[in-house]
Amino acid sequence: MTSQFTLTVNGQPYSVDVAPDTPLLYVLRNDLGLNGAQFGCGSERCGACTVLLGAKAIKSCKVLVSEATLGSITTLEGLGTAAELHPVQRAFLAEQAAQCGYCTNGLIMTTAAFLWKNPHPTDQQIREALNGNLCRCGTQLRILRAVKRAAELLAAEGV
Partner 1 sequence: MATRRSGSSEWSQWVAGGVLAQANQVDDWIAIEPDGNVTVFSGKVELGTGVKTALAQIVAEELDVPFDRINTVMGDTALTPDEGYTAGSTTIQFGGFALRQASAEARQALLELASDRLDAAIEELIVHDGVISVSHHPDRTINYAELLGGKKFQRRITLTAPLKRPAEYRIVGQLIPRVDLPRKISGAASFVHDVRLTGMLHARVVRPPGPGAKLISLDEASVSDVRVVHLGNFVGVVAEREERAVRAAQQLKVTWRATTHWPQQANLYSYIRNQPTTDNVIVEEGKVDAAFKRAATRRTATYAQPFQAHASIGPSCAVADVQADRAVIWSNSQGVYPLRGALAELLKMSPEQVQVIHAEGAGSYGHNGSDDAAADAAILSQVVGKPVRVQWSRQDEFAWEPYAPAMVMEVSGGLDRQGQVIAWQYDVWTPSHVGRPRGKSQLLAGQLIYGQRSSRPQWFGGGDRNAPTNYDFPHQRVTAHWLADSLLRTSSMRTLGGAANTFANESFMDELAAATQIDPLEFRLRHLTDPRAIEVVRAAAQRSEWGTPLPAGEGRGLAFAQYENEVAYVATVAHVHVEPLSGAIRVLRIVTAHDCGLIINPDGLRNQIEGNVLQSLSRALYEEVTFDESHITSIDWDSYPILKFSDVPDVDVVLINHPDQPAVGAGEPATITTAPAIANAIFHASGARVRQIPFTPQRVKAALG
Please state the closest distance from residue 44 (CB atom) to partner 1, in A: 10
Contacts of 121 (CB under 8 A, 6+ apart): 114, 115, 129, 147, 151
Distance CA 106, CA 74 (A): 12
Instruction: Give the nearer residue to partner 1 in terms of CB position, either 55 or 94.
Output: 94
Which is nearer to partner 1, 76 or 119 (by Cβ)?
Answer: 76
Tell me how far apart the alpha carbons of residues 10 and 81 are, in angstroms, rounded to a whole number.
11
Contacts with partner 1 by CB under 8 A lie at 18-19, 21-23, 26, 29-30, 33-36, 38-43, 45-46, 48, 75-77, 80-82, 85, 89, 92-93, 96, 98-105, 108, 126-128, 130-131, 133-144
All residues at 6 or more sequence positions from 30 whose CB lies less than 8 Å from its CB, including other chains: none
Alpha-carbon distance 31 to 71, whole Å? 18
Give min distance, CB of 119 to partner 1, in A: 19
Q: Closest approach of Cβ 156 to partner 1, in Å?
A: 20
Report the amino acid identity of residue 135. Answer: C
Q: What is the closest distance, in whole angstroms, from the C-beta atom of residue 6 to partner 1 in the complex?
A: 19
Quick one: 46 or 68, whose CB is closer to partner 1? 46
DSSP state of 54: T
Residue with Cβ nearer partner 1 (81 or 159)? 81
